[in-house]
Amino acid sequence: ANAQHPGDQAERRASELAAQAMGLEIEYFEVAGARLLDPALEAIAKSRCEAAVMFPIQSIISNSARIAAWSLRHRLPAVSGWAQFAEEGNLMSYGARARESFGRLASHVDRVLKGAKPGELPIELPRHIELVINLRAAKALGVLVPPAVLLRADRVIE
């Protein structure tokens, strides 16, 4: 993740609370921009991590295919929040629909350009959350995706 990203700290706290509730440990690796991705991936590979949750930030999503190749090379499943992450070869994604989110963002920008004060615009939650599972990646990683999870998926890439 990138600690400079506005939502990173809240997402990190939520991840830590969820992991704690499940008895899991988290290691945090900083990726403050695409040029620092390779050192972070190498640090993750050297750690004893069993999986990687990549926060859905630009430097991660724009390098999804590269991360998928790294994931397969190190046999370390990787997940993130935008569907593009799974579409480009990673195990899965779970998050808001990007096109819908960007459409809402455009609506907010339009309102600001027409004079609305940004601080007075309502905070909106995503209307749809989607789970995308890449079965090709699962097979290559040796991950068995339970049938119940496949049934809940919005899309399955075979």
Strands 78-80 and 92-96: parallel
> Is-above-0.75 flag for pTM?
yes
> What pLDDT sits at residue 57?
84
> What pLDDT sits at residue 149?
97
Distance CA 74, CA 35 (A): 20
pLDDT tens digit string along 87-98? 999 999 999 998
Q: Are 78 and 31 in contact (CB under 8 A)?
A: no
Q: What is the mean pLDDT of residues 98-122?
A: 90
Q: What is the mean pLDDT of residues 13-36?
A: 90
